[in-house]
Structure 1
Amino acid sequence: MPRSKAAFDDLRPFEFREPPEVLEADQMYTVYEIARLLQGVDPDEDLDAETEAILLDWAVPWMLDHAEQFCFAEPDRDDEPGFYGLRDDR
C-alpha cells in the first residue's frame, strides 16, 4: 500500500554510483561481493539468504546497466561464482 511522503523522515535522491566508485581497479569480485559493496556492507560479512537475495536484486541490474565497464573471469570450479572486475580498456 502506498505511503505518504510525509511519513518518512529522510527522502534522498535515487542515485547509483559508477563502478569505479565501488570497485578497486586491480581486484576481481563475485557478484555477491559486488552486491554487498554497493550497499556499504563488508564483502566478507555473513548474511542470511533473504538479505543476500535482496542485495542481488539491486546488484544484477546495476551490473547489466554498466556491462561495458566490466570484465569477467571463469570460476575455479563449476560450483563457484565467476569473478567480475573493471575493464582496463575503458
Structure 2
Amino acid sequence: MRKNNRNKKTTDPDPYKSPPDEPEESPGYGYAKYSGLGIQMLVIIGAFAYGGYRIDKAAHHSIQWVTCILSLAGVFIAIYLVIASLKKDRP
C-alpha cells in the first residue's frame, strides 16, 4: 500500500522567498546609523575643503576664496544628504 504525502505539512521555509526589506532593529542600529551619517558629513566637507585648498595653492591666491566657497558647498551638500536620508527613514 502506498502512503499519501499530500496532507503532510512541511516546516521548510520557501527557499525562493526574498528576505524582508527592513533591517532588523538591533540595540546598536540607531547608533551605527547616526554615527555613519556623521562620518559621511565629515568626509564630504573634508574632501571639498581639501579640493579648494589644492586649487588655491595651485593658483597662488593670496586670499583663499576657493577653499571657503568649496567648504560651504560641502557643508550644504552634506546637510542635504543627511536630511534626505532622515526623510527616507521616516514611516
TM-score under structure 1 length normalisation: 0.27
Higher relative contact order by CA 8 Å / sep ≥ 6: 1 or 2?
Answer: 1
Judging by fraction of residues, say which structure has more helix.
2
Judging by fraction of residues, say which structure has more strand.
1
Structure number with greater Rg is: 2
